Amino acid sequence: MQCPICQKRKVAKGDTICRICRRFINEYILTGKIRRQTVPMVADVWLVMQKLGVSQEQAVRLLGGTP
């Protein structure tokens, strides 16, 4: 099964998202380093794109925005 967030990597058995996405969410979103908001900051979108290897649209959605 592909990761529903990045749609690039496989999800481990019994898990819901891939290891890379989980690490990113734990490090940046759950700690509050990046806040989820309707219109995410450009730098935050870029960081998500670089760390997870996702498109701009996917990064905006992950940060709570609408593409």
Could you read off the pLDDT of 8-56 as tens digits, one per residue? 899 999 999 999 999 999 999 899 899 888 999 999 999 999 999 999 9
Cα(20)–Cα(1) distance, rounded to whole angstroms? 15
Compute the 3-state secondary structure of the chain and give helix, strand, coil in percent, each to the nearest 5: 45, 5, 55
Q: What is the pTM of this model?
A: 0.81
Token couple for 36? 């989820």
Q: Name the burial class of residue 34, with classes exposed (0-12), middle (13-18) and buried (19+) by CB atoms within 10 angstroms of its CB.
A: buried
Total number of residues shown for the chain: 67
